[in-house]
Amino acid sequence: MIMPGIGPVTAMAIEAFAPAMTTFKRGRDFAAWLGLVPRQNSSGGKQALGSISKMGQRDIRRLLIIGAMAVL
C-alpha cells in the first residue's frame, strides 16, 4: 500500500485473490500470471518469450492498470 497507485482496495484484492507469493520465483512470474507481461521460457542465454495469456485474475489486472494510469 505504500507504492504509488496501490491503495487499500488493490492491496486487499491481491491478498484475497492471488496465490501465495512464495509460489512465484520472481516478480516477472507474478506479472505473467496476471497477464501483464509475456511468459518467459529462457535458457542458455537465449531469450524465449511466450504469449501474454491473460489467464490471471482480471480484476487485479484492471486495478493495477487504473492505479498506474492515476500515477501518470
In tens, the pLDDT along 42-70 reads: 777 777 776 676 667 788 888 888 888 99
Quickly tell me which residue has 486495478 as its cell.
63
Domain presence at residue 1: no
pLDDT over 70 (residue 18): yes
Share above pLDDT 70 across residues of the chain, in percent, rounded to a whole number: 89
pTM of the model as a whole: 0.68
User: What is the residue range of 49's domain?
Assistant: 8-71
State the total domains in the chain.
Answer: 1
Any idea how long the chain is? 72
Residue 22: pLDDT band (50, 70, 90) is very high
Domain presence at residue 62: yes
Q: Work out whether the CA dihedral 49, 30, 58, 7 comes out positive or negative.
A: negative
Query: Which residue type sits at 67?
Result: G
Q: Work out whether the CA dihedral 9, 15, 17, 18 comes out positive or negative.
A: positive
Grid cell locating 22: 512464495
Grid cell locating 19: 496465490
